[in-house]
Structure 1
C-alpha cells in the first residue's frame, strides 16, 4: 500500500504552456520554480524543466545524500524524459544532446547567494555532437569550457585558495589572452577554447586528484547536491541572517533545458526590469550582451549594453560617448534586434500586470528566438519601493492595503539618511565616471578586500568586480565601487537590495590588488585614502564631501499617511533631548515613550554636581547638590515638553547604578578630590564602596529612589515645575512619570507616595496644577506576574524589553556577544533575542503582564520602550497583544508606523 510520503510529489514539471505547480506554491517550489510554472501557464516561452522542492532540501540536510537521491531519483528520471520530449533532444546523447542548467531557488530572492551550473551534460563526445548538430564548433567548445569552469568551482571546490589569488580557471584564461594578445573571451578561437578545456581538466585533476566527471547523470546529481549545500554556504547564511530568513526554509533546485545566448551575433542574453530599481520611475530598462550566456551579465565580465534606446542614450551621456560612436559600438537591443525587443517589451508589460509589482526578468535569445528564463519581484531601493507602491496604487493596479503590504518596513531607513550637499558637490573634484547602480551618498576610506571592510569606521569597498563571496564586506562598507559590471551586475543588484550606494562599471579605474591601489589616469589612490561616491549620478569624487539631512519625498509622506489610516496602535519615540524629540515628531512620533534622565547628568557642567551628590555623606549634603541639578533638569524637561507640545511624554526616573557617574581613572579622581576639597582617599573609598559584583541586579532603579528619596523628589519637582512653566506659556505638557525596575508592589507604592507628595507640594506652592500619570517600567519577570496588584495604583505599564529579555534569559547583554553568534550558528537560537523580541518566552511575560494589569484596570495604558519597538516582527507581536503603543529611536519611527499598519491589515 502506498504511504502519504509515496504519494507526495518531490518534483514538479513545467514547460510547453503547462505545469504541475503555480505561483501560489512559492514556499514549496521556491520563488524561481513557482514563477517558472506560472509563466508556463501564461504562455510565456520558458525552456522546459522541473523543480525539486524545498522539502527535499530539508530532507537532505537531515538524512544526507544517499537517502535523498534514492527518494527522488524515479521522479527526476521521469522529469528528464518530459524535457526530452518537449525539447526534442536526449540527455547524454552524443548525436542529439540535451544540455541542462541547475539553479537554486529559495522562497525569497537571494541574488548570487547560492550556486548555479550551466551547460550540464557535456563531455568529450557530446561536445562533438553539439558542434555537429548546431554546425557551430566555436559555440560548442565555448559552452564546454564554461561548463567545466562553473562545475569545477561550484561542485568540485575549485576556488581561489587565498584573497590574493585569482580564480584558477581565470588565471589560465588570462595567461592565454596575454599569449594571444587579446582582451575579450569572444576573441578566443576554436583551438583556444579546446586548449582551455584540456587545461581546465588538468587543473581539476591536479587540485582534486580526480578526473572531471564525464557521465551526465553523475554530473546532474553532483550539481543538485551542490545547490542543496549552497543553502548552508557562508554567503547564503550571512544573507539569511541579514534579512532574518529561517534556516529551515531550504532551497528548491530548478533544472531546465539549456537555451544558448552564445551562438553568435543573432544570440544573446540579458536582464531587464519593468521599472527603474533605483528610483522607481516607470521606465522599462535593462542590459544585454551579444554572444554570451546569462552569468556573463551579472558577473560583470563584460560591461553590457542597454536594452532601450533611451537607456543607451543616457548611458552614452554618462560615458561621454557621442551618438555616432554609440550607435556603432553600443547599440541598444531596441535598435539591434527591434522585433525581439518588441516581443520582450510585451512580456514585461504582461508580467508586471499579472504579478502587480515590478519584475526583474532574465532572458536569452537563441538564434533569433526569445526565451524567458526567470521573473521575480525586483530588488529595489527604499525610494523606489515607496514610489512604485504609490504609482501602482494610483494606477488602480493595487489597493491601499496591498500598497502597504508590499513595502519592507526596514527599507524606509534608507530614505532617512544624509545626502550630499549640493554646494559641496559643485566644488567637488570628480576623478572618474561610472554607472549609477544604486542611489545614495557615500564617503569613506578605500579598501580593496571584502574581509577588510571593517578596517575603517567608514570604508568604500573597491573591486574590479564583486562576487557573492564579498557579501559581508559589501554590507559593512558605506559604498561599493567596481571597475567592471553594469546596472544588473552582482554588485548593483545586491547593493540596491541593501540600500547601499554603488557605482559600477567605472572602466577608467585600474585596480591593483597586490599594491592595494587605484589608478585613475596619472593619479594613484592608496588604501585608506578618502573618496566619495554619488550613486545617483555615477560620479567618483576625490576626498570627503559634506552631507545634509534628506528631504522626505511626497510619496514618502503619502505612505505614512496611509499607514496611519490603517493603524490604531500609536508609535512613540525614545528621546532624551529636544533635538531628538523634534526629529522624531517630524517623522510622525505620537509622543515620547522613554526619556532617560540619566543621560542628562553626563554633560560636563552637570557631572560635577552629580558626583557631589554621590559623595555626600548626609541627606543635607545630597539635597544641596540636587538643588544645583534641579534647574538643569527642569530646563531639559521644558525643552522636551515644548518639542512634543500636547503629546504624552514618559520620563523614566534615574535608573543606572551610581558607580557609572563616579570617576575610575586616578587623574580624574584627583581632580574631583581637589574640586570637592576632600582627600583623594575619600574619593577612592566612595568609588570602592559603590562597586558591585553585578550592577545590573544591584543598587539601581527604584532601589536608588527608595534608599535616596531626595533623588526622586528632585526629579519629580523638575518635571512638574517644567510642565507648569509651559502651561503659563499656553503650551500643554502631558508628563508620565515612570518608576524603573519595580519588582514588588511595595516598591511601587513607596515611590508613588514620594512622587505624588512632591507634586502636591509644587501645586500648593504655585497655586496651580496639571494632569500627570504615574506608572512603571515592567522589566523584571516578577513584576509581570503580579501585574494585577501593581495596576491597582499604576496608571500605565511600559515594558522595558531590553532588561526583561536579559532577566528572562539570564543573559547579560554586554557579555552575550561571546556566545550568541555560536548559538545562532548552531541553531540553538533562531535569532538574537535582543534584536527580535522572543515571543515564546519574553513575549509570554508581556502578554501575562498586560492581561493581568487590565483585569484590574481595563483602561490601563500599555506599551513597550525597548529596542524591539522599531523591529517589524516585534511591532506585529505588540499589535496582536493589544498594546496601546510602541516606542523606538527617532529614525525608526517611520518603520514602526508602517509595521503597525501592516500588523493591523494582516490581522483583519
Structure 2
C-alpha cells in the first residue's frame, strides 16, 4: 500500500530532510529537526503525491488516505495525552501547507483547529484562562471562515471593531472573555448568513475542510503568480502538515517569533529576528502589534527584548540557531513558539535573502570551512545578481527625508506612487516605474509587488510579508513607516504636514529605511568584495566563455567591467539609426542603381570604420563577432511626406518616384523578407563596405596598440550553403584588397548565424564554408514556432498560465524543439569540422536554464546583454558543477 502520511515528533520520525520532494520543505524539516533532538510538537505530513492525485482525480483523495490520517492522528493524541474532539482535554492542531520550495504567504493555514462550542470549555478548564480559550476560538472561526468557507476577511474585522466600539477598547488585548464570547456568536451568525450553513462543529469535518483548503490553495491566483515568477512547476504540488498546537498567547510567559540565523538583508553573521509576547504566529507577520527584538543589544529605548523577557527560552533559542545552521550548512529562517517558558520549533527552512546577503553568506561560510567553494558557487541564484548591478542612492546627495521606516530590503528605487497592486502591474506593463504603497501587503498583492520598483508599507516589521517577499524578489522595501498616513480613498500619503498624491514621484532607500519626495541621484555599483571573490571562484570552475551583445562603446565598456570575454554579437544595423547616418542609409536603400547605393555607402564607410575602431580598442585583443547588416527593410524606409521628400532631394529624384520606390520595397512580412544575406547577395556593395570598415579598423587598432583585434565576421540569415559561399568570397576579396594596400595582415574568421530551421538541418553542409556558428535563438525561436516575437505577447502569457508551454520560449530556450535543432546543428557541424567554434547570441545567452542547456550541448560560449554578463558567468559555473537545490536569494 502506498504511504500517503508520514509522522514526526515524539520519537516517531518517518521522514528526513532529503525527502522534501515528497514531504515538502516544511514537513521534511520538521521531521529532521525532531530527529536531531530539537523540541518539535508532534504531527504528521500528508505528502505532495496526494496533491498530485487530488488534482488528477477531480479533487478526490486516495482511498487509503483517511485511514492513514486517523492512525497518524492517534499517534499525536498518544504523544500529547489529549484527544481530538474531547470536551475535557481537547487536542487542537494547526493545518499548514508545505511545498518543496518555500512560497512564503502564498498558501493557506488554519490554526486552533478542533475547537467548537464544547471543546472551548475543555480548553478553558485545561488552561484556567477563559479569555485565552475564547480568543483562540474566535481566531479559529475567523481563519477557518476566511480560508475554508470563503467569507471575506473584512466581515470578521467589522464585528470585532463593533465590539471594541461598544467596550471603548482600542486594542484586541483589551477585550475580555465575555467580549470574545460575543464575537464568536456574531461570527457564527454571520457565517451561517453568508454560507447558508452553520459553522461546522465536528472536528473531523473541520480537519478535512482545512486539508482540502490547503490543497486547493495550491491553485489560487497568488500561488500561481508566485510559481510563475519563480519558475516553480505546478506539478510539484504541496504537502499538508498537521501538528499539535502549542500556544504563544496564554500569558506573559508565552511568545511567538520569527528569526534568521544571519541577517537576510546584509548577510552579517548576527542573530536577526522579532518576537511578540502573548501572541500567535499570525500576529508577528500581520503588523497589527509592533514586534520586539530578540537580543538586549538590539533593543532600543522602550523596547523589551526576548533575552530580558524570556531569558531561559532565549538561551535555548541561541543553541537552536547554532545547531540548525551547522546541520543545514546554510542560513535558516526559523519560526518558534514559547508556551509557559518552554520553547517549541515550528519550522526551519533556508531563508530568503537579498543578493548581497546571499553572496556574503556563501563566501563567509566557505571561508569558515562550513561549505566548500563549489557549494558557495552553487548557492547563489544567478538571476539575483541583477540586484547588485544597478545604481544605488548617492550618499553625497543632499537629503530631505519625508519619512522613515524599517530597512526591510536593501537597494534604491524611484517611481510614481500607486496604492494598488493592480495599478502597479498595469502601469509597469506600460514601462512606467512605480512604487507600491500599502498600509500592509498581503499575499494577494504579489503581482503588484513584482511589477513595482519598490515597496513602502506603514505597518509590519522586518519579518512581515512585505519584507520577506521583497527580499526574495530583490525589490527595495521600506516597511513599518508608522509616521506615514495612507488614505486609500483620497489616494494620498502624508507625513510631517506634507502630502504626496498618487502619481507623484518618491524615492525609497531600502538600506536606510528612508523615504524621499522626488527623484534622488544614484551612483554606479562597486563590484568588489564578496562579489569579486565569488565571481573569481565561479570563473575558475566554468567551461563556457561569456561574451556580450554590444555595438556601442558604452555597452562594450559596461560588458568589460562585468567580465565579458569578447563581443558575441555586434548588430551593425543598430549603428545606422543615428540621425547623422539614417539619411545616407535611406538613400542607399532607395537608390535605383548600384552607383546610387555606392555613393551612399561611401558616406557611411568612415562612420562604420570608427565604430569598429572603438569596439576593437575597448575589447583589447578579445574576439569581436560582427554581424553584417540584417535590417528588415521597413525599419529604414522613409515614412511620411517630409522624410520621402528629403530622400528624393538627396538622390535628385522627384517625390512621386520616391513614393513608388517605397511601395516597391514594402513587404507583407518583412521579418521573413529581403534581409540578412539575401540583401547582401542582391546588393553586394553593402557587405563589401562593411568588410572594408572592419578590416581597416582592425589594422588601425593593431598598429595603434600593438595588440591585433580578432574580428569574427558573421553572415546573417543563411539558409543554404551557397549563400554562405557567395558572401564569404566577397569578404575574402575585400580582405585581400585591404591587406595588400596596408602591407599587413591579421587573423580573422567568417561564420554564420544559425537562425533558420533549414540552416540547422543542413549544418554539416554549411560548416564546410564556416569557421564558426552562432545560434541566433531569438529568430530561431520565431522561425521554429512560427511566432512573431513582437505579437506573441498577446497570447503567450495565457499559454504559460494554462500549461500549454512551460515558459515563454523567448525568455527561456525551448529545449524540446529549438534546443533539438541546436543540438542537431552542433553534432552535424562538429562532424564536418571538429574544431568549429560554437556559441549562442540570442538573449537566451543570459538565462540560467538556457545556459545549462548550452553546457550540456558543449557550446564554446554564450553571449548576452552587458548587464547579464555576471549572471551568465555564475550560471555557466553552476552548469559545469551541476548545480541543484533551492537557491534562495
TM-score range, shorter chain: over 0.9
Q: Does 1:598 align with 2:570?
A: no
CA distance in 1, matches of 2:187, 2:318: 39
CA distance in 2, matches of 1:415, 1:666: 47
The equivalent of 2:887 in structure 1 is none
Q: Does 1:311 align with 2:286?
A: no
Q: Does 1:194 align with 2:181?
A: yes
Aligned 1:249-264 pairs, distance under 5 A = 249-264=236-251
CA distance in 1, matches of 2:614, 2:593: 32
CA distance in 1, matches of 2:723, 2:680: 9
Answer whether contact 1:11 1:79 (CA < 8 A) is retained. Answer: yes
Aligned 1:147-186 pairs, distance under 5 A = 147-159=140-152, 167-186=154-173
The equivalent of 1:370 in structure 2 is 343
**1:173: how far off?**
2.0
TM-score with structure 1 setting the length: 0.95
Matched position secondary structure for 1:551: coil
Answer whether contact 1:591 1:649 (CA < 8 A) is retained. Answer: yes
The equivalent of 2:427 in structure 1 is 455
Answer whether contact 1:23 1:35 (CA < 8 A) is retained. Answer: yes
Q: Does 1:345 align with 2:318?
A: yes
**1:675: how far off?**
5.0
CA distance in 1, matches of 2:622, 2:11: 59
CA distance in 2, matches of 1:479, 1:242: 16
Q: Does 1:83 align with 2:58?
A: no
Aligned 1:117-516 pairs, distance under 5 A = 117-159=110-152, 167-312=154-299, 316=300, 323=301, 326=302, 330-424=303-397, 427-453=398-424, 454-455=426-427, 457-516=432-491
CA distance in 2, matches of 1:725, 1:732: 9
Q: Does 1:31 align with 2:14?
A: no
**1:811: how far off?**
1.3
Matched position secondary structure for 1:754: helix
Bigger Cα displacement from structure 2, 659-668 vs 499-508: 659-668
659, 669, 677: which one pairs with 1:684? 659
**1:88: how far off?**
0.9
Answer whether contact 1:29 1:52 (CA < 8 A) is retained. Answer: yes
Matched position secondary structure for 1:445: strand
Runs of 4 or more consecutive aligned structure 1 residues displaced over 4 Å after TM superposition: 674-677
Residues 476-500 of structure 1: CA deviation (Å, up to 9, x unaligned) = 1111111111000000000000011
**1:731: how far off?**
3.4
Bigger Cα displacement from structure 2, 52-61 vs 665-674: 665-674
638, 651, 665: which one pairs with 1:663? 638
CA distance in 1, matches of 2:491, 2:312: 47
CA distance in 1, matches of 2:856, 2:632: 35
35, 42, 52: which one pairs with 2:36? 42
**1:671: how far off?**
4.2
CA distance in 2, matches of 1:181, 1:525: 33
The equivalent of 1:52 in structure 2 is 46
CA distance in 1, matches of 2:127, 2:16: 34
Aligned 1:517-536 pairs, distance under 5 A = 517-536=492-511
What stretches of structure 2 of length at least 5 have no aligned partner? 885-889
Matched position secondary structure for 1:9: coil
**1:257: how far off?**
0.5
Matched position secondary structure for 1:70: coil
Aligned 1:792-871 pairs, distance under 5 A = 792-871=768-847
Bigger Cα displacement from structure 2, 201-210 vs 615-624: 201-210
Answer whether contact 1:445 1:530 (CA < 8 A) is retained. Answer: yes
Change (3 A) 1:193 1:789: same
**1:69: how far off?**
5.8
Change (3 A) 1:639 1:181: farther
Answer whether contact 1:862 1:883 (CA < 8 A) is retained. Answer: yes
Change (3 A) 1:82 1:710: same
CA distance in 2, matches of 1:60, 1:71: 13
Answer whether contact 1:642 1:731 (CA < 8 A) is retained. Answer: no
Change (3 A) 1:839 1:404: same
The equivalent of 1:759 in structure 2 is 735
**1:788: how far off?**
1.0
Answer whether contact 2:549 2:569 (CA < 8 A) is retained. Answer: yes
Matched position secondary structure for 1:360: strand
What stretches of structure 1 of length at least 5 have no aligned partner? 1-5, 161-166, 317-322
Matched position secondary structure for 1:743: coil
Change (3 A) 1:552 1:181: farther
Answer whether contact 1:299 1:489 (CA < 8 A) is retained. Answer: yes
CA distance in 2, matches of 1:635, 1:144: 77
CA distance in 2, matches of 1:850, 1:767: 37
Change (3 A) 1:173 1:675: farther
CA distance in 1, matches of 2:708, 2:164: 76
CA distance in 1, matches of 2:801, 2:329: 37
Q: Does 1:14 align with 2:1?
A: no
Bigger Cα displacement from structure 2, 763-772 vs 712-721: 763-772
Q: Does 1:706 align with 2:681?
A: yes
Answer whether contact 2:41 2:243 (CA < 8 A) is retained. Answer: yes
Answer whether contact 2:23 2:239 (CA < 8 A) is retained. Answer: yes
CA distance in 2, matches of 1:174, 1:773: 76
The equivalent of 2:853 in structure 1 is 877
Residues 611-643 of structure 1: CA deviation (Å, up to 9, x unaligned) = 111111110110000010010011011111111
Aligned 1:520-599 pairs, distance under 5 A = 520-599=495-574
CA distance in 1, matches of 2:631, 2:147: 53
Residues 654-698 of structure 1: CA deviation (Å, up to 9, x unaligned) = 112222112323443344444554333233222222211111111
Answer whether contact 1:17 1:43 (CA < 8 A) is retained. Answer: no
CA distance in 1, matches of 2:64, 2:569: 56
CA distance in 1, matches of 2:505, 2:754: 47
Answer whether contact 2:106 2:443 (CA < 8 A) is retained. Answer: yes
Answer whether contact 2:254 2:277 (CA < 8 A) is retained. Answer: yes
Aligned 1:617-636 pairs, distance under 5 A = 617-636=592-611
CA distance in 1, matches of 2:555, 2:496: 45
**1:311: how far off?**
2.3
Residues 397-443 of structure 1: CA deviation (Å, up to 9, x unaligned) = 0011111111111111111011001122xx12112111110011111
The equivalent of 1:164 in structure 2 is none
CA distance in 2, matches of 1:210, 1:237: 30
Answer whether contact 2:633 2:670 (CA < 8 A) is retained. Answer: no
Answer whether contact 1:428 1:542 (CA < 8 A) is retained. Answer: no
Answer whether contact 1:659 1:687 (CA < 8 A) is retained. Answer: no
100, 103, 124: which one pairs with 1:107? 100
**1:18: how far off?**
3.5
Give RMSD over aligned pairs. 1.3
**1:171: how far off?**
2.4
The equivalent of 1:319 in structure 2 is none
Answer whether contact 1:285 1:311 (CA < 8 A) is retained. Answer: no
CA distance in 2, matches of 1:605, 1:666: 20
CA distance in 1, matches of 2:123, 2:360: 48
**1:181: how far off?**
3.2
